[in-house]
Structure 1
């Protein structure tokens, strides 16, 4: 989708005047282009803006690159579907009120790690966020089709563990202030994502039935699961009393991190977490299941998850202890692994419903309306993502595994 018409030079000039607290700031020029290609993002409209401007106080000339994120305001169908999730207002609030507090908590323990991009301007009326363009500081987006190796995923887990731990502490200190964020992908207010989630589950079942004759048993189980799918997801997302719940990212995959590489070795050295539209209060393990089952290279997903859960737990528990968290016992590794299993339905969902869309290479119909549509175009698109050879290999490896863990059963325990 194109940038909205009202995203003009006057608008950017006013936003920069507020940011710099300089009412006389003068915008000299502005260049606008899409920030992401088709099929790379389904959660809003992202526009890259390069602005050249002059401060009035000292006549200093500056240049700033920014990412402008806007809602689907020009698409009534997308707007209606997204409305109950309230993603844009909540994300603006998160950038203004939540993320800066989490960063402050890290500084309490002399941890200078930066976790997030900086918000430059927030506009609730227009449902718009302007961020620093991290690419100007050497950060880039990893290739969603290649997947993440061990150095990449450990960097992300380090940041995620610190975000989760500081959020648990902040919520404790502020009398449950983060518990109002209860609108993740599965929530008690809406089933508007059902056409995507259940539609993709049925498309998966249809593909398996037609093309994987030895797996017909699994296709039948997927079809039987469909009427119960959204309720199982809601139970998975429900807060479990007695556990350390956190402010979870909610959509943790390769396209929602920016990575900086060492120019000499090409090794990843830093990461920033971005895109908090679906953040929610709940189990930290849901972010890990989502990341591991959408974005890891296959040898890691199949053989190294135990190592990665342990790595995350070490950082998570250490930050909780250093910040004197006391609302619940800091989980032992054994307790944490029990929670991992309790929430593993989201691993199945992320692997079999979400990842096929994320690694789709045919972008002709890759847009929000195809994802949510129940018309011929939408059904065709959802079926087409399972025609990917990589998706087929994943299904052949993972469906038996998920079935052995009871995740294809209708009567799953919550």
Structure 2
């Protein structure tokens, strides 16, 4: 059966087909009859620009075809349905980079394979936890991914404006250490990339990140100048603003310099971590029961320390890093080392000092990731950039016009995205991204968003104190 490409195309027959396919994995004679279903948006405007996320709640009857005399069982499903974004440019970029394929593969095959491996070699001690996979399809013209809605089970994301505290960050790095360790150990005997070539490293991230770095840097310089007390920092950033994106790409892309490689999440930050808490105690404290990782579109075979940089620089406060960063890094290293050793694949020459040296060598990447993501996720202007809003073309009477215009946009998107990958396009891309992100710069100067301004200023000052910005003047 053809899959829907958006929430408006979801039908009762498709829901029955999809759920029957899921139930047949457990009992081949099973059939599902839908009594009712509801559809709601899973995100607020501006929260997701690379996908359409839908909440699908279903009430159904489950029948065993092998025993017709049995009374059908009533069952409720709480699901998340993920479609490709309707924005033609984002959609074309996702397809060109294979982000959608990787996420579907993670849920449908990769995690199961890795979990089976660690269960045999480590007694199931380092299990990887994701929401349950229900259904998925990916062809040239179809894409849909259906997962369980773990919010119904009590999972929630930590508010991004608060950032992760020590306990939440510690658990997060424990889980990412498992992913790194299990994939590394698996690769030693199974050659991960031969089986899953879509996770092969690509410089697509650095290609598109470079103009974002440049534009975010321009915003940071404007912000610091408005403060009039950070002349030395402004000098360092202005001196290196031309070469900074190039240095980022060189450090990110040169895999020959990395100590070793494994499967990385790629977008390992606050909003992609879903925690479940135990009932609060009398003093109001809630302890963490479990964690599941979501949003695997940017996962790839890469340097594992980049996931750590990403988390610490985008999702924690300066005070948390000052007080607990060393302990968090040691916890990661201990978990990773214990896991790889137990699975019989310890990494040679990888004691804590050597790991820490690699982390510090790549600290520029962490700073730049933090600088860009803080601006993009904590600013109100960033939310407006992501939310295109409705137009007259969304009305039913204009549907024929919308179809034609969408086809024209799709054709333009192929040309624009293809052009964006060419080195000759760097100047145009830089100017375009700067224009798009300039409202964030104005918001920084206005100073009304205290959380945004405080987190960015802390990150800039911390990078300067650690000597990260000194490389810009070399």
TM-score by length of 2: 0.78
Of residues 333-342 and 213-222 in structure 1, the stretch that sits farther from structure 2 once superposed is 213-222
| 1:66 pairs with 2:85 | no
1:306 to 319, 322, 326: 326
| 1:181 pairs with 2:173 | no
C-alpha change, 1:377 and 1:400, in structure 2 (3 Å) is closer
Distance (Å, rounded) in 2 between the aligned partners of 1:384 and 1:116: 39
What per-residue deviation string (whole Å, max 9, x for no partner) do you get for residues 145-178 of structure 1? 1111111111111111111100101111112426
SS at match of 1:408: helix
Kindly state the Cα deviation for residue 310 of structure 1 after the two structures are TM-superposed.
Answer: 0.5
Distance (Å, rounded) in 2 between the aligned partners of 1:23 and 1:233: 53
Of residues 344-353 and 16-25 in structure 1, the stretch that sits farther from structure 2 once superposed is 16-25
SS at match of 1:317: helix
2:91 to 67, 79, 85: 79
Kindly state the Cα deviation for residue 10 of structure 1 after the two structures are TM-superposed.
Answer: 2.7
SS at match of 2:311: helix
What per-residue deviation string (whole Å, max 9, x for no partner) do you get for residues 369-397 of structure 1? 79x99389723433255343233233433
SS at match of 1:374: helix
Matches within 5 A, 1:323-402: 323-325=343-345, 328-329=347-348, 331-361=350-380, 365-367=384-386, 374=432, 378-384=436-442, 386=444, 387=447, 388-402=449-463
Of residues 317-326 and 223-232 in structure 1, the stretch that sits farther from structure 2 once superposed is 223-232
Distance (Å, rounded) in 2 between the aligned partners of 1:242 and 1:212: 38
What per-residue deviation string (whole Å, max 9, x for no partner) do you get for residues 153-208 of structure 1? 11111111111100101111112426752456xx1587234443322222222222
Kindly state the Cα deviation for residue 341 of structure 1 after the two structures are TM-superposed.
Answer: 0.8
Kindly state the Cα deviation for residue 239 of structure 1 after the two structures are TM-superposed.
Answer: 2.3
1:218 to 214, 227, 233: 233
Residue 312 of structure 2: aligned partner: 292
2:103 to 81, 85, 91: 91
Structure 2 stretches lacking a partner, 5+ long: 65-69, 390-429
TM-score by length of 1: 0.88
Residue 138 of structure 2: aligned partner: 124
1:191/1:230 contact within 8 Å kept = no
1:196/1:373 contact within 8 Å kept = no
SS at match of 1:351: helix
Residue 103 of structure 1: aligned partner: 115
2:23/2:31 contact within 8 Å kept = no
Structure 1 stretches lacking a partner, 5+ long: none
Distance (Å, rounded) in 2 between the aligned partners of 1:104 and 1:65: 26
Kindly state the Cα deviation for residue 294 of structure 1 after the two structures are TM-superposed.
Answer: 1.1
Residue 22 of structure 2: aligned partner: 19
SS at match of 2:452: helix
C-alpha change, 1:336 and 1:86, in structure 2 (3 Å) is same
1:365/1:381 contact within 8 Å kept = no
C-alpha change, 1:203 and 1:65, in structure 2 (3 Å) is same
1:170 to 178, 186, 211: 186
C-alpha change, 1:373 and 1:382, in structure 2 (3 Å) is farther
C-alpha change, 1:309 and 1:375, in structure 2 (3 Å) is closer
What per-residue deviation string (whole Å, max 9, x for no partner) do you get for residues 220-279 of structure 1? 433443433443222222324572322111001111011000014321121011111111
C-alpha change, 1:250 and 1:385, in structure 2 (3 Å) is farther
Residue 8 of structure 1: aligned partner: 11
- The structure that has the greater radius of gyration is 2
Kindly state the Cα deviation for residue 368 of structure 1 after the two structures are TM-superposed.
Answer: 6.8
2:276/2:290 contact within 8 Å kept = yes
2:22/2:135 contact within 8 Å kept = yes
